[in-house]
Amino acid sequence: MSTALRRTIFLVLLLIAWEAGFRIFDWGWKFPSVTQTFQAFYDGFVHGQLLQATLESIRRLLTAFILSIVIGTVLGFLFAKYRFLDDTLGFLVVALQTIPSIAWLPFAIIWFGMNDFSVIFITTLGATWTMAMSSRTGIMNIPRIYLKAAQTMGTGDGFKMFYQIMVPAAFPHMITGVRVAWAFAWRALVAGELIAKGVGLGQLLQDGRNLADTALMLCIVIIIAVLGTLSDHFCFKRLEDTILVRYGLSTKQK
């Protein structure tokens, strides 16, 4: 039995158990049934704001994610190359990594206002520190022979060495940081949208709570889970498999 067939059967059984649980235990408005959830999906995409909210959230997420990848990779390179920065700023980054990014939202609102910039700011923070530490580890584990060979061939020690040698060589380690950063960015984004103004999945989730519309709330949770799973499987996982094959760490792509 193929993996796809097993997953399909599991989802069908899950839906049946879900609907049966709703009818047997009489959950009422506290948790929606399968049919109520599907109806909420239909109304949300055809007559409501689900599509617009999803697109707006993805726009904010991609903006923050790209920023976090760039900033985190540069910080990781600096930490790996300069011991002083690693012992000082790197120590601070480890401390900042333990702070939930939503804790910075009140500061962001004071600094920037209740707008997109505040949400993007805390979403970027949510992913940057993880990416910085992951890229630092990846760069520090690059075999020295790679760097010496590159210098012998005229690469030097500057930016050319960074983007031609260090980033590709460290990528098998960095891809784990990329995947974790993506998950952290989603968490920070939804948390920020719950409070800040503007159209987005988090704000729509808040509206659903205010209206006690659990079907709408569950729709948003499902959308986030589906988008996260699809992006990880079809983007990051395939990229990871390609990199591992290229560097001889795996014999074939899955």
- Residues 204 and 45: beta-carbon distance below 8 Å: no
Distance CA 206, CA 200 (A): 10
CB atoms within 10 A of CB 184: 23
Which tokens sit at 11?
Answer: 């989802």
Note the pLDDT of residue 65.
94
* Residue spans of alpha helices (H) in 141-236: 144-152, 159-161, 167-195, 201-210, 214-231
Distance CA 221, CA 202 (A): 10
> Which residues of the chain carry a pLDDT beneath 70?
156-158, 247-254
- Residues 62 and 124: beta-carbon distance below 8 Å: no
Note the pLDDT of residue 13.
94
Cβ burial 137-156 (10 Å sphere, 16+ → b, else e): bbbeebeeeebeebeeeebe
Note the pLDDT of residue 32.
92
Q: Distances from the Cα of 237 to the Cαs of 175, 180, 234, in angstroms? A: 9, 12, 6
This prediction has a pTM of: 0.84
Distance CA 121, CA 59 (A): 13
Q: Is 85 strand, coil or helix?
A: helix
What average pLDDT does the structure give for the chain?
86
Enter the DSSP assignment of 30: G
> Residue 20: enclosing H or E segment and its boundaries?
helix 3-25
How many secondary structure helices (H) and strands (E) does the chain include? 12, 0
Reported as a single tens digit per residue, the pLDDT across 18-60 is 999 998 888 888 899 999 999 999 999 888 789 999 999 999 9
